[in-house]
Amino acid sequence: MTTSLFFVQLINGLQYGLLLFLIASGLTLVFGVMGILNLAHGSMYMVGAYLAWYFVQQTGSFTLSAIISAVIALAIGIVVERLLIQRLYRRNHLDQVLLTIGMIFVFNALQSILWGDDPLGVQVPEAMSAAIPLTDVVEYPVYRIFVALVCVAIAAVMYFMINRTRLGMLIRAGESNREMVECLGIDISRLYTIVFAIGVMLATVAGVIAAPMSSIVPGMGEHVLIACFVVVVIGGMGSIKGAFIGALLVGLVDTFASVLMPQLSSMMIYILMAFILLIKPQGLFSS
């Protein structure tokens, strides 16, 4: 591999990893704070992509579409948490899995009814349709760099929010001792609603910003869900920092494996996961 190709692949890997982080962060946040294993997380990524498509059709503006989609995501998060998830806090993970798998079917059916089953596409916003030449042939689209930057920015905001704000303090407190937080007069159920809605919004926003560079198809949520779980398990269930490192690792390993060992590439991220679990059975940064 030449140096320039190595460099290009490095960018590819980092960019894929950052997007994976954005999707996986909501999953690990919800698990870390609330102990809820939300299998329907991938469905929210799918919903995000479809909403982006729908509102771009309606409004013609990608930015507007992203904002509307994020607001809808928050609303979905609040409703789902209040109506369904709330009943499961004191139940075991198996019940949660059952409910959230059911939600996958519901979201898939709604998608099929509302938007049909044909593959759909969103065009890259005009302002970011340029590309930067990397080699004689290969260019790098500005939009993809923008997506990477957005992912980094969201990671930074999350880091700041959890470590420096009152909400973050409550989240950390709720994570380590739910009863004590309640005893201190904090409305924990409201906190949970907020956290769950944020988790849903993160997945949805990931779906929105991924829409112009992916194909919007039925079942797209399930594919990312598996990659997300690999990320979260590698990083340590519930750890945001772990998800960040895990996502970059998965992105890089997957990218380089595709090129260097095409025959093994489909299993490399799982081999990576197994290897890390051998050394650190709880993942890299488990709490």
Partner 1 sequence: MDTKKLLHTLLAGAVAGTLCSQALAANEDPIKVGVMLPFSGIYAALGDAGRNGLKMALKEHAQALHGRQIEFIEMDTEARPERAPEIASSLLDQHHANFIIGPVHSGVAMGMIKVLKDKDTVMIIPNAGAAAATGPLCAPNIFRTSFSSWQPSYPMGKVALDNAYKRVVTMSWNYGMGRESLDAFRESFTAGGGEIVKEILVPFPKTEFQSYLSEIGSINPDAVFVFFAGGGAVKFVKDYDALGLKGKIPLLGSGFLTEGTLEAQGPSAEGVRTTLHYADGLDNEVNNKFRQDYEQMFGKPADIYAVQGYDAGLLIANAVDQLGGDISDQAALIKAMEGAHLFSPRGEITFSRAHNPVQNIYLRQVENGQNKVIDVPAAALEDPARGCKL
Site string for partner 1, 202-231 (x = CB under 8 A): -----------xxxxxxxx--x--------
Using CB under 8 A, pick the residue from 26, 81, 228, 254 that binds partner 1: 254
Site for partner 1 in 118-157 (CB under 8 A): 118-121, 123-124, 131, 133, 135-141, 143-144
The residue among 74 and 131 lying less far from partner 1, judged by its C-beta, is 131
Kind and range of the H or E run holding 22: helix 3-34
Show the binding pattern over residues 75-114: x = contacts partner 1 (CB under 8 A), - = does not. -------------------------------------x--
* Closest CB to partner 1 among residues 37, 122: 122
Q: What's the closest the beta carbon of residue 146 comes to partner 1, in angstroms?
A: 12
Task: Verify binding: residue 117, partner 1, rule CB under 8 A.
Answer: yes
How large is the greatest C-alpha to C-alpha distance in the chain, in angstroms? 64
Are 131 and 140 spatial neighbours (Cβ–Cβ below 8 Å)?
yes
Q: Which long-range contacts (CB under 8 A, 24 or more apart) does 196-199 make?
A: 196/30, 196/34, 196/36, 196/77, 196/78, 196/80, 196/81, 196/85, 197/73, 197/74, 197/77, 197/78, 197/81, 198/26, 198/29, 198/74, 198/77, 199/26, 199/27, 199/29, 199/30, 199/38, 199/41, 199/77
**Residue 121 Cβ vs partner 1, minimum distance, rounded to whole Å:** 3
| Closer Cβ to partner 1, 1 or 79, answer by number | 1
Distance from chain centroid for Cα 211: 13
**Minimum distance, C-beta of residue 106 to partner 1, in the bound complex (Å):** 13
Cα–Cα distance, 217 to 251 (Å, whole number): 22
Cβ atoms within 10 Å, residue 21: 29
Residue 118 burial class via C-beta count within 10 angstroms: exposed 0-12, middle 13-18, buried 19 and up: exposed
Interacting residue with partner 1 among 258, 282, 286, 287 (CB under 8 A): 258
Under 8 Å between Cβ of 40 and 22: no
Minimum CB distance to partner 1, residue 265 (Å): 6
Q: Does 116 interact with partner 1 (rule: CB under 8 A)?
A: yes
- In the bound state with partner 1, the residue whose beta carbon lies nearer, of 126 and 179, is 126
The single residue among 41, 256, 273, 283 that binds partner 1, judged by CB under 8 A, is 256
Name the residue among 14, 63, 73 with its Cα closest to residue 41. Answer: 73
Q: How many whole angstroms from its chain centre is CA 185?
A: 32
Closer to partner 1 by CB, 205 or 216: give it.
Answer: 216
Query: Minimum distance between the CB of residue 138 and partner 1, rounded to whole angstroms?
Result: 4
DSSP string spanning 73-87?
HHHHHHHHHHHTGGG
* Among 7-15, 21-29, 55-63, 271-279, the segment contacting partner 1 (CB under 8 A): 7-15
Q: Which residues are near partner 1 by CB under 8 A?
A: 2, 4-5, 8-9, 12-13, 15-16, 112, 116-121, 123-124, 131, 133, 135-141, 143-144, 213-220, 223, 254-256, 258-259, 262, 265-266
